[in-house]
């Protein structure tokens, strides 16, 4: 059995030592579901972004190799690719 | 300009919320240092800003430096930003973050300027700058930082800035 996740709430309007100043509140089932969905969404977004970055880098290296084969110098290729 | 500590707390659970934020300052600053659990998300853990507990009408753009490749990332939805650890292999590692919230009571959009860097042990210690906008006319009265299992533990300080 795993412990139910919690969230920490700090009430800035209450003085230190007040019993309600800091509360540790267990997440509801709805909150857990919402947060898991949110985390999954960001994980997918990040995976898609990283795949796109990897493809872009691969395209760049492929283009560089083809330009080298055409006889361009390293400096000329860098001037083109940035 | 005067900085006043409103609260300073250590994390517990999956998120920290500062509620009933005083409406007497000009700007707010949230600073935190946290041990990032990169096992849960590859090289970085995801953290989400939730002004007034909300996840809507918020988006940002991040300039990220990881060595190879550096990149500009558009966060199409949500208030998330990534916490970077020292490199792709060192776990866990500490990351420090400053979030400057200018004019948090305005009825115009609220801007979050997020500046973060990670432990400097790696050859290319990562860092990132992010601008996030919350499109709401409401003043910020509470601020939740949702980190799930991305943070093992950390220390959060909320400042009020008086001009």
pLDDT tens digit sequence for A57-71: 889 889 999 999 999
Global ipTM: 0.85
pTM: 0.84
Q: Distance between CA B151 and CA A27 in Å, rounded?
A: 17
Distance from CA of A7 to the nearest CA of B (A): 5
What's the number of domains chain A is made of? 1
Q: Residue by residue, what is the 3-state secondary structure of B90-115?
A: CCCEEEEEEEEEECCCCCCCEEEEEE
pLDDT at B138: 97
Chain A residues inside the 8 Å CB shell of B71: 53
Structure tokens at B70: 């550096």
pLDDT at B69 over 90: no
The reply to whether A66 falls in a domain is yes
Handedness of CA B21, B26, B27, B28 (dihedral sign): negative
Q: Chain A: nearest CA to B47, how far in angstroms?
A: 9
pLDDT over 50 at B67, yes or no: yes
Terminal CA-CA length for chain B: 5
Mean pLDDT of B130-149: 92
Q: How far is CA B148 from the centre of its chain?
A: 14
Residue A50 lies in a domain: yes
A&B contacts, CB < 8 Å: 73
> What confidence tens digit (pLDDT) does each residue in B80-112 have?
777 776 655 555 678 889 999 999 999 999 999
CA proximity to B34, closest of B47, B51, B49: B47
Q: Which among B11, B22, B146 has the least Cβ separation from residue A12? A: B22
Q: Residue A39 is part of which domain span?
A: 6-81
Please tell me the CATH code under which domain B2-162 is placed.
Answer: 2.60.120
How do the pLDDT tens digits run along chain A, 82 residues long? 467 899 999 999 999 999 999 999 999 999 899 888 887 887 788 788 778 878 988 898 899 999 999 999 989 988 887 6
């Amino acid at each position: 059995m795993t412990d139910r996740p919690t969230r920490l709430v700090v009430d800035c309007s209450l003085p230190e030592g007040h019993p309600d100043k800091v509360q540790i509140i267990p997440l509801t089932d709805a909150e857990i579901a919402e947060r898991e969905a949110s985390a999954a969404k960001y994980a997918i977004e990040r995976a898609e972004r990283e795949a796109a970055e990897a493809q872009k880098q691969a395209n760049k290296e492929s283009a560089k190799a083809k330009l080298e084969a055409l006889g361009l110098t390293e400096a000329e290729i860098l001037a083109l690719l940035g | 300009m005067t900085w006043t500590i409103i609260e300073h707390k250590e994390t517990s659970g999956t998120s920290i919320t500062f509620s009933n934020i005083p409406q007497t300052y000009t700007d707010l600053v949230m600073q935190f240092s946290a041990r990032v659990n990169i096992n849960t998300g590859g090289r970085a853990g995801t953290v989400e800003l939730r002004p007034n507990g909300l996840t809507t009408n918020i988006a940002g753009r991040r300039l990220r430096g990881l060595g190879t490749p550096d990149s500009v990332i558009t966060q199409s939805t949500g208030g998330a930003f990534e916490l970077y650890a020292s490199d792709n292999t060192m776990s866990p590692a500490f990351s420090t973050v400053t979030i400057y919230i200018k004019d948090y009571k305005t009825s115009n959009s609220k801007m979050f300027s997020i500046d973060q860097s990670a432990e400097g042990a790696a050859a290319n210690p990562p860092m990132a700058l992010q601008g996030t906008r919350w499109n709401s006319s409401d003043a910020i009265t509470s601020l939740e930082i949702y980190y799930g299992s991305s943070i093992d533990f950390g220390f959060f300080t909320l400042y009020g800035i008086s001009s």
